[in-house]
Amino acid sequence: MKISFFLLIFVFSVQGLAQEDEKLSWAEDRILSWEDFKASPKKHLPYKANTNSGISFSWNSRESSNGLELNYEVGSNFYPNRSWVKEIQEVDYLLAHEQLHFDITELHARKLRKALENFEPGTKMKKELDAIYSEIEKQRRQMQAQFDKETSHSMDKEAEFKWRFLVKEELDKLSEYSS
């Protein structure tokens, strides 16, 4: 009986971890839907929805006849089990605001891919790569905060539409570094 109970707890724990780690990769032909927002709303916060997204980055290197060769993978991810929505009135408009947060993450993933493509591996490669990632992640966080500040968390529609244009333009400039 104890073994069965332990096994049952273990199975539920593993399933819980799998749900927490669920992620959606950014894709131009796949926009977010409200069904993607699975976390419980944070009722104490004044805004109506929250997108949790981020950049994943992994790399390795190896010696080749051309010297040190860097291999890397950069992802732009949305985390459903950390993203939430409260009751909303302007469904499409607010969803577009949340999509733009995810698009800003993709924009910075492209910036990271571009930086890595131009990176020349050296003797302090790990430290240099960490610095590149940290700087782009810092810029991403700043842009996310600036977006919410300038749009008053989606309440300023004129600013919102300016941001939509700006982010689309920047994504287009870096289209060759798309996911």
What average pLDDT is seen over the chain?
A: 88
The pTM of this model reads 0.86
Q: Which positions ≥6 away from 130 have C-beta within 8 Å?
A: none
Q: What is the pLDDT of residues 74-130, one digit of tens each?
A: 999 999 999 999 976 667 899 999 999 999 999 999 999 999 999 988 889 999 999
pLDDT given for residue 74 in this prediction: 98
pLDDT given for residue 123 in this prediction: 82
Sequence-ordered strand ranges (E) for the chain: 24-25, 49-50, 53-64, 67-78, 84-85
The pLDDT of residue 140 is above 60? yes
Q: Report the distance separating Cα 20 and Cα 107, nearest Å.
A: 24
pLDDT given for residue 166 in this prediction: 98
Q: Report the distance separating Cα 21 and Cα 2, nearest Å.
A: 29
Query: What is each CA distance from 112 to 10, 12, 130, in whole angstroms?
Result: 38, 37, 11
